[in-house]
Amino acid sequence: METDLGYWIIPLAIIGGAIRVSTPFLFVSLGEALTERSGRINLGLEGTLVFGAMSGYALAHLTGSPWLGVLAAALSGTLFGLVHGVICSLPKVNDIAVGIAMMILGMGLAFYFGKPFVQPVAPDLPAISFGWWSEIPQVRAALEVNVLFLIGAALAVLLWWMLRATRVGLTLRVVGDSTDAARAMGLQPAVIRTCATAVGGAFAGVGGAYLSLYYPGSWNEGISSGQGLMAVALVIFARWNPLACLGAALLFGGAGALGPVLQSVGVSEGYYLFFAAPYVLTLGVLIATSSPTQAMTGAPGELSITK
C-alpha cells in the first residue's frame, strides 16, 4: 500500500534517524562520561570504536553470532581502556596525549587486522519492530529499534542511578572531584580511574560493534565518521550526566538525519549543508551554554581540561 506522507516524512525520518544513528554516540558518550567522572579524559575512544567495529564484525563473521561479536568488541574495548588507564597512572603522563596516541593505534590496528574482513558478510544484530500497529512502511521503518539502543538507554538510566545511589558511584565521583579528599578517605585514585577507563573502553567497543553489525552494517576503513571524537564533545554538552548523554545522543542523531531526509523529499539545493547540522548544533549549544567568567557546573574537578 502506497501512502503519500508529504512533509510528515521529515519528523518521522528524523525520529527514526535519531534512534538509528544515535546508538554509537550513546555508547561512546556513556563510556566517556564514566571515565571523565573519575577525573580522566580518554580521547582514544575513536580508536577503540573502530577497533571494536572490526573485532565485532570479525568474530560475528567467524562464529555466526552477532552477540559474540558484541562481546569481542567489549573485551577489546576494555583492553584499550586498561592500557590507557595504566599508562596514565604513571607519573607525569598527560592523559590527552596518551588518548590521541591510543586513538591512532586503535585505528591502525583495526585496519591491519581488519583487511581480510572487508569482503565477507557477518550476521546483523536483531532489531525489534515497534511499528507493527501501522500500515505505513515509513512508520515501520522508523520504529525499527535495534536491541543495542534499548540496552544503551537502559544503561544510561542505570549509570545515572549508580552515580547517585551506590558506593561505587559515589566513590567514582569523589575520585573525580578531589584527589585530596579521595586520598584522605584511603581510596586509590589511580586504580579507580583505571577501572573507570577500562569500563568506558568497553562501552566504546560496543558502540563500534553497532556500526559494523547493524548500521551501516559492514566493516570497512571508513566506517566511523568521527563518532568517537564527537561523543567526547557530547559528554561536555551533557554536563557529565548519563541521562543527558542519552538526550544529547538522540539530538545529535536526529540532526544527523536531517541531510538525508531533505534529500529524499526532493530538496535538491544545499541539502548537503544539512549534513553539517549536528556539528553546527553542537557548536551552537556549546557556545550558548559557555561563559568565560563562570566555572562550568557539573565538571569533575580533577579533569585536566577543566582544571
Partner 1 sequence: MSTVATKRGAIGVETLHMTMRFGGFTALDDCSIKITPGSFHALLGENGAGKSTLVKCMMGFYHATSGEILVDRREARITDPRAAHALGLGMVYQHFTLVPSLTVAENLVISREDAPRIIDWRAERADLQAFMDRMPFQVPLDQSVRALAAGEKQKLEILKQLYLGRRFLILDEPTSVLTPDEADEVLSHVRGLCQDGVISVLMITHKFREVTAYADQVSVLRRGKLVGGGRVAELDHTDMAALMMSDATLARPAPRSGMRGAPVLELDGITARDRTGLKDIRIDRLCVHAGEIVGVAGISGNGQMELMEILTGQRPYRSGEIRVKGAPYTARRDDAQRHNIRFLPEEPLHNACAPRMSVSDNIAFRSFDRHGGFWLSSRDMRARASDLVQQFKVKTTSIDVPISALSGGNVQRTVLARELSGEVDLLIISNPCFGLDFSAVSEIRSRIMQARNAGAAVLILSEDLDEIMELTDRVLVMSGGALTYNAATAEADIATIGYHMGGHA
217: left (phi over 0), alpha (psi -120 to 50) or beta: left
Nearer to partner 1, 253 or 300 (CB): 300
Nearer to partner 1, 157 or 280 (CB): 157
Residue 129 pairs in a beta bridge with: 144
Q: How far is the CB of 34 from partner 1 (least distance, A)?
A: 16
Q: Which residues contact 243 (CB under 8 A, 6 or more apart)?
A: 156, 157, 160
Q: How far is the CB of 164 from partner 1 (least distance, A)?
A: 8
What's the CA angle centered on 38, arms 83 and 175, to 5 degrees? 120
Nearer to partner 1, 181 or 280 (CB): 181
CA distance 249 to 244: 8
Q: Which residues contact 292 (CB under 8 A, 6 or more apart)?
A: none
Nearer to partner 1, 13 or 155 (CB): 155
Tell me which DSSP letter residue 271 carries: G
Q: How far is the CB of 247 from partner 1 (least distance, A)?
A: 21
Chain contacts with partner 1 (rule: CB under 8 A)? 165-168, 170-171, 173-174, 177-178, 180-181, 184-186, 291-295, 298, 300-301
Listed in order, strand segments (DSSP E) in 94-142 are 127-129
Nearer to partner 1, 222 or 292 (CB): 292
Q: How far is the CB of 96 from partner 1 (least distance, A)?
A: 19
Q: What are the φ and ψ backbone dihedral angles of 130, each rounded to 5 degrees?
A: -95, 5
Query: Quick one: which of 71, 78, 77, 44 has its CA closest to 57?
Result: 71
Nearer to partner 1, 95 or 177 (CB): 177
Q: Which residues contact 159 (CB under 8 A, 6 or more apart)?
A: 30, 33, 34, 242
Q: How far is the CB of 115 from partner 1 (least distance, A)?
A: 45
Q: How far is the CB of 30 from partner 1 (least distance, A)?
A: 19
In the block, which residue shows the cell 588507564? 85
Nearer to partner 1, 268 or 291 (CB): 291
Q: How far is the CB of 256 from partner 1 (least distance, A)?
A: 32
CA distance 113 to 184: 45
For residue 216, say if its preceding peptide bond is cis, omega within 30 degrees of 0: yes
